[in-house]
Amino acid sequence: MTRLWLFLHFLGFTWWLGGGMAAMVAGIVARREERASQGAIARAQAAIQKIVIAPGALLVVLSGLILTVRVMGATVTAISPWLMTMQGAGIVGALITLLVGLPTASRLGRIDPEGQHAKYFEELRARLRIAASVAGVLGLLSLLAGVMLRTGG
């Protein structure tokens, strides 16, 4: 059963960070596009956030908590700093993704990039860029800590 949870953990991590990379590339490409077409790119980013990134972040946290309970059990003598780093960075990164990134991307996908909402559109893009960057760095830190934990580093 632990192997199933480990598979789900890796699957969630792949969705979260892979989707984040896809959304980041779409955002970079959007800078070169005309203002009118940026709305379609924002809607695509919102869809990636809703369908891939957010479920991946949620899956990785839930499976990680279950793995922690299964592996650690009731007897905890010494907790690895790598395990604590992996868990802390992963949970904080996932919370930023779910509580800031998802609502911001959803709002961004619903408004018009031109006209009266142009300034708000840019504010939301900046907020999403910062939140996704911070969550992505925390996700990568969590990945690094997980590798160090598995290799005994």
Per-residue pLDDT tens for 5-42? 999 999 999 999 999 999 999 989 888 888 888 889 99
- What is the pLDDT, as a whole number, of residue 74? 53
Q: How many domains does the chain have?
A: 1
Contacts of 42 (CB under 8 A, 6+ apart): 30, 105, 108, 109, 113, 121, 125
Per-residue pLDDT tens for 63-82? 999 988 887 765 555 678 88
Can you tell me the distance from the alpha carbon of 90 to that of 87, in angstroms, rounded to the nearest whole number? 5
- What is the pLDDT, as a whole number, of residue 78? 66
Distance in Å from the first CA to the final CA of the chain: 26
Tokens matching residue 10:
């890796």
46: domain range?
A: 2-151
Q: Taking the mean position of all CA atoms in its chain, how far away is CA 57? A: 5
Tokens matching residue 146:
């997980």
Least confidently predicted of 55-64, 114-123, 132-141? 114-123
- What is the pLDDT, as a whole number, of residue 153? 62
